[in-house]
Chains A and B, each alone.
Chain A
Amino acid sequence: MADASQTGPIVSRHDPRYEVSMYRYVGVDGAHTLDFYRSHGGYDAARKALTTMTPEQVVDEVKASGLRGRGGAGFPTGVKWSFMPPPDGRPRYVLCNADESEPGSFKDRYILEDDPHQLIEGMIIAAHAMRATHGFIYVRGEYMLGIERTVAAVEEARSAGLLGEKILGSELSFDITVHRGAGAYICGEETALMNSLEGLRANPRLKPPFPAAAGLYGMPTTINNVESLASAVHIINRGAAWFASMGTEDSKGTKLYQISGPVHRPGIYEMPMGATFRELIYDFAGGPSLEPKAFIPGGSSTPMFPWEDRFLDMNMDYGTLAKNGSMLGTGGVIVIPRDKDIVDLMFNLVRFYAHESCGKCTPCREGVAHWLPRLYQKLVEGLGTQEDVDLIEDLANNIRGTAFCPLADACVMPVQASFKWFRDEYEYLAEHKVPKYGKTDWWQA
Chain B
Amino acid sequence: MKVKVNDVELDLKPGTSAIDAVFSAGDDVPYFCSQEYMSPIGACRMCLARIGAPRKDKGGEWILDEETGEPKIFWFPNLMATCTTQVMEGMVIDTRSEPVKRAQNSMVEYTLINHPLDCPVCDKGGACELQDRSYEYGSGISRFEFDKRHQEKHHALSELITLDRERCIHCKRCVRYFEEVPGDEVLDFIERANHTYISSEEQGLPNNFTGNITDICPVGALLDATSRFRGRNWEYHHTPSVTMDDATGAAVWIDSRTGRIERIKARLNPEVNKTWIDDGTRFGHEYVDDASRLLTPLIRRGGELVPASWDEAAAFVAERLGGMSGKDVGIAIRADSTVEEGIGAIALAEHLGTGQVDHAPRHEAPVVAPAAERATLTELATADAVFVAGDVTEEASILDLRIKDALRGVTPPELLPHGVPIADLRLKERQPRDARLLTVAAPYRVDLMKYAGRALRYAPGQEAALFRDLEAAVRAGDTRVEKNDSAQPEHGVAAADVSAAAAQLAKAERAVVVLGGTVLASQQATAAALALAKAAGAKVMLVGPMANSHGLELLGVLPSHANYAYPAMLETARALILSHLDPAQDPDVAERLKQKDLLVVHDSFLTETAALADVVLPAKTVYERDGTVVNLEGRFLRVVAAPVEGGTSEDLTGLVKRLGDALGQRLEGRSVRSAHRVLKQRLDLDLTELPEWGEILAAKAPDKRRDAAAGAKAETPRRRGGNVVVTASMVRPEYAYLNPHLLAERGGPALRVNPADAQAHGLAAGDDVRLRVNGMWRRATVKVTEDVPAGLMTIPATPDQPQGLAHADLSTLAVLREREAVA
Contact = CB atoms under 8 A, between A and B. Distances in A.
Interface of A: 184, 186, 200-201, 205-206, 218, 354-363, 365-367, 369-371, 374, 378, 391, 395, 398-399, 401-404
B188 A370 contact: no
B69 interface: no
Contacts of A360: 43, 170, 172
Interface in B164-206: 169-170, 172, 188-189, 191-196
Given A218-B432, A403-B45, A404-B45, A363 B106 contact: yes
B718 interface: no
Enumerate the 5 nearest inter-chain pairs by beta-carbon distance, A residue then B residue, closest first. A359-B196, A401-B78, A369-B193, A398-B106, A366-B110
11 contacts: A206-B429, A359-B170, A362-B110, A362-B170, A365-B110, A366-B111, A370-B114, A371-B110, A395-B106, A402-B45, A402-B79
A370 B149 contact: yes
A366 B103 contact: no
B154 interface: no
Nearest to B84: A206
A354 B192 CA distance: 10
A359 B194 contact: yes
Contact of A365 (B41, B81, B194): B194
The size bracket of the interface on B is 35 or more
A357 B191 CA distance: 10
B216 to A, nearest CB: 18
A366 B109 CA distance: 9
A186 B192 CA distance: 11
Most chain B beta-carbon contacts within 10 A, residue among A200, A359, A391: A359
Given A359-B193, A401-B77, A404-B43, A201 B188 contact: yes
B107 interface: yes
Given A206-B42, A403-B45, A398 B103 contact: yes
B430 to A, nearest CB: 8
Contacts of B45: 361-363, 402-404
Contacts of A354: 193-194
Contacts of B169: 362
A124 B53 CA distance: 40
Contacts of B107: 362-363, 402
Contacts of B196: 359, 365
Contacts of A404: 42-43, 45, 81
A274 B172 CA distance: 45
B103 A402 contact: yes
B44 A370 contact: no
B113 interface: yes
Contact of B78 (A365, A367, A402): A402
A362 B43 contact: yes
B111 A374 contact: no
Interface string B791-804: 00000000000000
A367 B106 CA distance: 10
Contact of A361 (B43, B143, B429): B43
B234 interface: no
Interface in B36-65: 40-46, 48
Most chain A beta-carbon contacts within 10 A, residue among B107, B146, B193: B193
Given A360-B43, A363-B45, 8 more contacts: A358-B193, A359-B192, A361-B44, A363-B110, A370-B114, A374-B146, A391-B143, A402-B48
Contacts of A395: 106
B100 to A, nearest CB: 11
Contact of B193 (A205, A218, A355, A391): A355
B144 interface: yes
Contacts of A374: 146
A357 B192 contact: yes
B155 interface: no
A216 to B, nearest CB: 12
Nearest to A364: B193
Interface string B190-232: 0111111000000000000000000000000000000000000
Given A218-B432, A402-B78, A402-B107, A370 B194 contact: yes
B102 interface: yes
A371 B113 contact: yes
A367 B109 CA distance: 9
Contact of A401 (B79, B111, B193, B428): B79
Most chain B beta-carbon contacts within 10 A, residue among A360, A369, A395: A360
Contacts of B149: 370
Given A362-B44, A402-B107, A201 B189 contact: yes
A362 B218 CA distance: 14
A194 to B, nearest CB: 11
A205 B41 CA distance: 8
B193 A365 contact: yes
A358 B193 CA distance: 5
Interface in B112-149: 113-114, 143-144, 146, 149
A375 to B, nearest CB: 8
A362 B44 CA distance: 5
A359 B143 CA distance: 21
B188 A357 contact: no
A321 to B, nearest CB: 17
Contacts of B79: 401-402
Given A366-B113, A369-B193, A398 B44 contact: no
B193 A371 contact: no
A319 B219 CA distance: 46
A399 B110 CA distance: 10
A267 to B, nearest CB: 32
B143 A367 contact: no
B193 A367 contact: no
A206 B86 CA distance: 13
A363 B105 CA distance: 12
A365 B430 CA distance: 23
Contacts of A358: 192-193
A128 to B, nearest CB: 29
Nearest to B76: A401
Contacts of B194: 354, 357, 359, 365-366, 369-370
A359 B110 contact: no
Contacts of A359: 170, 189, 191-196
Contacts of B48: 402
Nearest to A198: B430
Most chain B beta-carbon contacts within 10 A, residue among A184, A358, A402: A402
A372 to B, nearest CB: 11
Given A201-B188, A357-B192, A370-B194, A362 B146 contact: no
A408 to B, nearest CB: 10
